[in-house]
Structure 1
């Protein structure tokens, strides 16, 4: 057996990384406004940032990545790569229990990943993120081996979120998947106490959490989809934190001018794009897609609508993403060239074009209206169709039933272009209902197998250039994460990826 690399971490390092030092529980309640009910609390059912904003407090993964973006131990205290990287051995934390008292152990880890990579996981959106794992083998009660079908340079980060959250075998076996969707059990610092779909979820402190009891006794999440309502509730003191992407740019000054409130702005991985139906309609023509991009002044949108709280992008990733190419420039704003390309493609003035958007995203609603105006100036007649967010994401886009263009907001929470590019461009993926490109598929698969990070970065940068050449979307901007926070909230750390761990937060009386 060959040992390639060993990394061992102690509980004290994790405690420092999570800012966990106190076991004192404070009798206080925090109320958070979240724009969306994810609809299921099962980690393998979701891709939504709003799920993670809540569920990061319910579940733990083998690894953990906090607001500082450093990867540290979670339910695993150490890991080592064996057999030239084809196997990873995890040493598990002892003495941990799920919220129902069920013990955490190696069997729970195996159950979690067998379920994720099996029939149940195949029905959800997370399995493809973990396809490098061929099997999980139990060595003893607190040791597991992950055997890899191929290398995955981002796997340890993926184990810190979403589908990799560890779930309780006995509880799920006894109650079933549907029950678990609404009544999740994890090992996290808070346990679900009450859930009213589309309205709210209440979490109570789990005082037996392995890293110590939370300082808050309770966290209430209210699902408020209307931004103006969320800000009004913040101003009235009925909400303590409003999480991204709720706050409209136009309401930043309203919050700043209130002496009891603050705006916290942090660079995020979140990028916005309008993606194309490349299969049918006028946007099946690459010349039309290029013309649409060149017709839109994206820098003006950032300055006028987003108040500078965003950066322009040339590919569907921000500057913090591994694979970002600072030398790659966006296609220029050139309405005359756009008109020439449309004429060359035989598109007549007044041709109809439909853009599908998330109906509760007021800021992007403004952006879409401006884009429609730009496109009208080059002869396209644009209609904007708003959808309820869950309908757009769960039904319209995956089924390939969008208009010519559709809004895609992507968290890119791993800060690695693989997590975006593979899911957006690989044939058959949920977010790629229209396009199939064997050459692109091959490159996406190849970069996952590279252990040389410099070579992998070069290939990811080439993929970004290739997708720009194929004009698969309008890359719009990388937006900052904006939090509205009541000043009585203490120890708050704004998470770039919206995954707020609230166990060290408390309320100043």
Structure 2
């Protein structure tokens, strides 16, 4: 029998259909998950991608863990103590843990992981800047390590629960090439690697030696299905058991809800969407033009008509679940005449052309982009939509500064702290900030990181949100709900707001 329950997410009450059942244990089985993106590498230091975490959370462990309830709990570290006024954290490590290849987990593995992350190898990837508060990891004994911090980091325990902080096996990593580890991951999680067919699938199996609750599934497969219609069709046909966000377009929600074998699980997420600006070239180098383009677009109507109300308009590039969110901050209003006046002031002639770069597999955003182009035409701007293959856009077009005037950006803000978003988006030299450099903004971003005064840090984060909005560094669009399509044969599935699915408790009939 399907449980329908109410959850509270931030200040928003929402109806959540889950497949949390009270039922007897089922025989081992296989779960197939449709993911819209192949990350291309399974090395924890190589990616910021939510779709990496959707799968790799089952392969790797961090010292801490954060589940769907957003609470930080022990994982590979049994406990920790914050010492020296926040400048040192001592972790007591879980004993008797082994990696999938048989290597022991111990203090050496922790030190190796962070020396690698903060060294030359980590410098090649996007994760290093999240952990630079760590000056060194000191081994106290086989099961104890001290993290020495150059400055206190109020979000570090959360960061240690994901992405670059996942603990890797020293011997396995050093004896193989980086390219080999990218394609053949080894961790300590509830599922171990079996095979990886790039752009097709990742296959895992239950790890009998897992230190925690053993997986109730024998096999777990991720299929990389970029086309939403294909993913939903496979779900309906029973060849896929779970379709994860952001695959399902709002237009397909009625299809899933009408299928007696399926359930739609919707949960408020930290994910926000925007069209970010090329602030270096063309007409969008002018702040007045950027503001005019925001004012030209009726985002409330887009949310209502295209997204079916499954989202909320945002004023800054963060959701209400984010620490640093200011509920009093209002988005620029929809004002066609005001937009025209700003464009005239900036000397922009009617017929000025811009390009909007989007992810080619995102059908919902494709509709949003078409609507935005129509709105811009009403103020004399001709917008052309340029779709790109997802990995090309994220790994080449954006980081290399090859975009048009505007480009689609989605961000999960998985730490639920605005720093994780703002530093990556706005600090000079960051991967996701190929165009802009602002010394005042850099100073603000750097000033809040070492603060232990929560109220003062929140004040600065709110100031950053207002400052970036005043400069109109992006066209903030909406905070979307995470939509999961689930076959009713799947039991004990808990939809994570941040897509980081730990599936060892899941069963299938």
Provide the TM-score with structure 2 as the length reference.
Answer: 0.95
Question: Is 1:366 matched up with 2:363?
Answer: no
Q: C-alpha distance in 2, partners of 1:156/1:360?
A: 34
- Structure 1 partner of 2:349: 348
- Structure 1 partner of 2:110: 109
- Structure 2 partner of 1:27: 28
SS in 2 for 1:466: helix
Deviation readout 1:144-164 (Å, 9 max, x if unpaired): 000001111111000000000
Q: Where do 1:428-447 residues align within 5 Å?
A: 428-447=429-448
SS in 2 for 1:270: strand
- Residue 194 of structure 1 and its aligned partner are, at CA, apart by 1.1
Question: Is 1:270 matched up with 2:271?
Answer: yes
Deviation readout 1:285-327 (Å, 9 max, x if unpaired): 0110000000000000000011111011100000010000000
SS in 2 for 1:264: strand
Question: Is 1:224 matched up with 2:225?
Answer: yes
- Residue 212 of structure 1 and its aligned partner are, at CA, apart by 3.1
Deviation readout 1:110-130 (Å, 9 max, x if unpaired): 000000000000000000010
- Residue 26 of structure 1 and its aligned partner are, at CA, apart by 3.8
SS in 2 for 1:52: helix
- Residue 175 of structure 1 and its aligned partner are, at CA, apart by 1.4
- Structure 2 partner of 1:320: 321
- Structure 2 partner of 1:495: 496
- Structure 1 partner of 2:5: none
Determine if contact 2:262/2:487 at 8 Å carries over to the other structure: yes
Q: C-alpha distance in 2, partners of 1:60/1:157?
A: 13
Q: Where do 1:268-307 residues align within 5 Å?
A: 268-307=269-308
Q: C-alpha distance in 2, partners of 1:258/1:226?
A: 20
Provide the TM-score with structure 1 as the length reference.
Answer: 0.95
Q: Where do 1:331-410 residues align within 5 Å?
A: 331-410=332-411
Unmatched 5+ stretches in structure 2: 1-19
- Residue 50 of structure 1 and its aligned partner are, at CA, apart by 0.5
- Residue 438 of structure 1 and its aligned partner are, at CA, apart by 0.5
Determine if contact 1:201/1:220 at 8 Å carries over to the other structure: yes
Distance of aligned partners of 1:462 and 1:35 in 2 relative to their CA distance in 1, 3 Å threshold: same
Deviation readout 1:457-496 (Å, 9 max, x if unpaired): 1110111011111110011000000000001100000000
- Structure 2 partner of 1:36: 37
Deviation readout 1:320-355 (Å, 9 max, x if unpaired): 100000000000000100001111111110110101
- Structure 2 partner of 1:155: 156
Q: C-alpha distance in 1, partners of 2:415/2:192?
A: 25
Q: C-alpha distance in 1, partners of 2:58/2:462?
A: 35
- Structure 2 partner of 1:193: 194
Determine if contact 1:353/1:403 at 8 Å carries over to the other structure: yes
SS in 2 for 1:267: strand
SS in 2 for 1:419: helix
Q: C-alpha distance in 2, partners of 1:449/1:222?
A: 41
Determine if contact 1:202/1:220 at 8 Å carries over to the other structure: yes
Determine if contact 2:26/2:507 at 8 Å carries over to the other structure: no
Q: C-alpha distance in 2, partners of 1:25/1:183?
A: 30
Determine if contact 1:25/1:214 at 8 Å carries over to the other structure: no
- Structure 1 partner of 2:48: 47
- Structure 2 partner of 1:119: 120
Q: Where do 1:129-140 residues align within 5 Å?
A: 129-140=130-141
Determine if contact 2:26/2:508 at 8 Å carries over to the other structure: no
- Structure 1 partner of 2:474: 473
Determine if contact 2:278/2:405 at 8 Å carries over to the other structure: yes
Determine if contact 2:317/2:476 at 8 Å carries over to the other structure: yes
Q: C-alpha distance in 2, partners of 1:209/1:233?
A: 31
- Residue 84 of structure 1 and its aligned partner are, at CA, apart by 1.2
Q: C-alpha distance in 2, partners of 1:369/1:445?
A: 37
- Structure 2 partner of 1:259: 260
SS in 1 for 2:449: helix
SS in 1 for 2:269: coil
Deviation readout 1:181-238 (Å, 9 max, x if unpaired): 0000000000010111110011100011001320000011110000000000000011
Question: Is 1:61 matched up with 2:40?
Answer: no
Deviation readout 1:26-52 (Å, 9 max, x if unpaired): 420001000011000000011110000
Q: Where do 1:208-219 residues align within 5 Å?
A: 208-219=209-220
SS in 2 for 1:136: strand
- Structure 1 partner of 2:17: none
- Structure 2 partner of 1:83: 84
